[in-house]
């Protein structure tokens, strides 16, 4: 059976490097399941692999969209599975990497048969976001489905929109909607997670934000001000800087908020992965060697 190796872990922990080394070892290609790296205008703030890294191994689903495009997780599932099937025509192994938990889940397990987005509901939610901010949407979802609220990326309006819309349409919580049986894949999934002490994760996040600023994050965010109301940009690293540009926050405060919100997201990732049972964990200091030893034994 063909093998899909899924590399997971918190933001900033070294997934890109590990995915590259595994892909080179098996002479294969990489599928990204980082939903923020789909957008070509957001390279710095999403820590998209560098041109040098992208040149080492063929990558898919990186910079394939504009921030002006609408793209759903359902579209991603269909297109990613098609790409994986195409790659399995010439490779026995394909690598999946990214920290967007629901996007990884969509690939390895499949999505539930949920209704398409309701246009009227989407307009209502857009209006709430515009007039009352993301906190209002967070409070709504917490009231409607406290269990899912603990898992969801609470700073991602797209995820909040989707859950609230489904609850409104079905009259059931999002948790109830996704508890039913999902798709069986015709490939084997091997999940490798990179683990590190929480203080190391947080320190790496803080360093990464500083490096992004050095690499031109402010200029990148400023160039995207005309599109700041687009859902793709209602995300950590950009939403905070837009508040600096409009004079609401100082730059120092905005950068501290980026670090804080990135650490919050890492904490949610840890909570999500702790509940998963089929992950082989490797140490962040020795992730390449540990992973290759494990995989070579399993696959060869």
In total, the chain counts a number of residues equal to: 300
Residue 170 is assigned to a ligand binding site: no
Nearest to 231 by CA among 151, 125, 285, 156: 156
CA dihedral of 84, 85, 88, 93, whole degrees rounded to 10: 40
**45, 133: one domain:** no
Entry pTM: 0.84
Residue 150 is assigned to a ligand binding site: no
**92, 139: one domain:** no
**21, 98: one domain:** yes
Integer Cα distance of 237 and 113 in angstroms: 32
What is the distance between the terminal CA atoms of the chain, rounded to a whole angstrom?
12
**62, 208: one domain:** yes
Integer Cα distance of 238 and 227 in angstroms: 11
Answer whether residue 179 shows pLDDT above 80. no
Residue 63 is assigned to a ligand binding site: no
pLDDT tens track for 218-235: 999 999 999 999 989 999
**136, 170: one domain:** yes
Domain boundary among 156, 177, 198: 177
Computed over every residue of the chain, the mean pLDDT equals 94
**24, 166: one domain:** no
Name the phi and psi angles at 172, rounded to 5.
-120, 155
267 and 259 Cβ atoms separated by less than 8 Å: no
**74, 201: one domain:** yes
Q: Alpha-carbon Rg of the chain, whole angstroms?
A: 19
Answer whether residue 144 shows pLDDT above 90. yes
CATH number at residue 143: 1.10.20.140
pLDDT average, residue stretch 123-137 = 93
What per-residue confidence (pLDDT) applies to 180?
Answer: 64
What per-residue confidence (pLDDT) applies to 78?
Answer: 94
Residue 3 is assigned to a ligand binding site: no
Give the percent of the chain with pLDDT over 90. Answer: 85
**172, 187: one domain:** no
**268, 196: one domain:** yes
Please give the residue that has the higher pLDDT: either 156 or 251. 251
Alpha carbon 108 to its chain centroid, in Å, reads: 14
- pLDDT-derived band at 161 (thresholds 50, 70, 90) equals very high
pLDDT tens track for 24-46: 999 999 999 999 999 999 999 99
Integer Cα distance of 243 and 236 in angstroms: 12
pLDDT average, residue stretch 153-164 = 90
Residue 90 is assigned to a ligand binding site: no
**190, 276: one domain:** yes
Q: Residue 55: how many CA atoms within 13 Å on its side-chain side?
A: 3
Integer Cα distance of 95 and 59 in angstroms: 10
Residue 13 is assigned to a ligand binding site: yes
Domain boundary among 177, 194, 223: 177
Residue 10 is assigned to a ligand binding site: yes
**8, 88: one domain:** yes
pLDDT average, residue stretch 2-29 = 97
Q: Is 125 helix (H, G, I), strand (E, B) or coil?
A: helix
Integer Cα distance of 112 and 106 in angstroms: 9
Here the tokens at position 79 are 């297109």
Residue 248 is assigned to a ligand binding site: no
Please give the residue that has the higher pLDDT: either 112 or 296. 296
Q: How many domains does the chain have?
A: 2
What per-residue confidence (pLDDT) applies to 182?
Answer: 65
Q: Where does the chain show beta strands of DSSP type E?
A: 3-8, 30-32, 59-60, 93-97, 188-195, 279-283
**224, 289: one domain:** yes
User: What residue numbers bound the domain in which 201 lies?
Assistant: 3-111+182-299
Please give the residue that has the higher pLDDT: either 153 or 96. 96
Domain boundary among 161, 177, 193: 177
Q: In this structure, is the dihedral angle defined by the CA atoms of residues 237, 240, 242 and 247, taken in order, positive or negative?
A: negative
β-pair type (30-32, 188-195)? unpaired
Q: Is 107 helix (H, G, I), strand (E, B) or coil?
A: helix
CATH number at residue 73: 3.40.50.300
């Amino acid at each position: 059976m063909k093998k899909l190796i899924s590399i997971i872990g918190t933001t900033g922990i070294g997934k890109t490097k590990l995915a590259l080394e595994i892909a080179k070892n098996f002479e294969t290609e990489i599928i990204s399941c980082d939903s923020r790296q789909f957008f070509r205008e957001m390279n710095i703030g999403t820590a998209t692999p560098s041109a040098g890294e992208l040149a080492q191994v063929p990558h898919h689903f990186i910079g394939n969209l504009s921030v002006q495009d609408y793209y759903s997780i359902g579209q991603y599932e269909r297109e990613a599975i098609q790409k994986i099937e195409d790659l399995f025509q010439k490779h026995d192994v394909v690598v999946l990497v990214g920290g967007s938990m629901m996007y990884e889940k969509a690939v390895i397990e499949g999505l539930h048969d949920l209704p398409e987005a309701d246009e009227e509901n989407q307009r209502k939610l857009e209006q709430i976001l515009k007039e009352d901010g993301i906190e209002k949407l967070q409070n709504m979802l917490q009231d409607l489905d406290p269990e899912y609220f603990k898992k969801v990326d609470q700073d991602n309006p797209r995820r909040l929109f989707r859950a609230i819309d489904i609850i409104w349409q079905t009259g059931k919580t999002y948790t109830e909607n996704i508890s039913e049986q999902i798709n069986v894949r015709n490939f084997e999934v091997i999940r490798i997670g990179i683990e590190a002490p929480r203080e190391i994760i947080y320190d790496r996040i803080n360093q990464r934000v500083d490096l992004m600023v050095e690499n031109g994050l402010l200029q990148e965010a400023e160039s995207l001000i005309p599109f700041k109301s687009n859902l793709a940009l209602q995300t950590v690293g950009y939403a905070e800087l837009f508040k600096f540009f409009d004079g609401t926050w100082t730059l120092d405060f905005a950068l501290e908020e980026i670090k804080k919100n990135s650490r919050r997201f890492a904490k949610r990732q840890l909570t999500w992965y702790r509940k998963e049972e089929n992950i082989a964990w490797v140490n962040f200091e020795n992730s390449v060697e540990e992973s290759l030893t494990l995989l070579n034994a399993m696959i060869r």
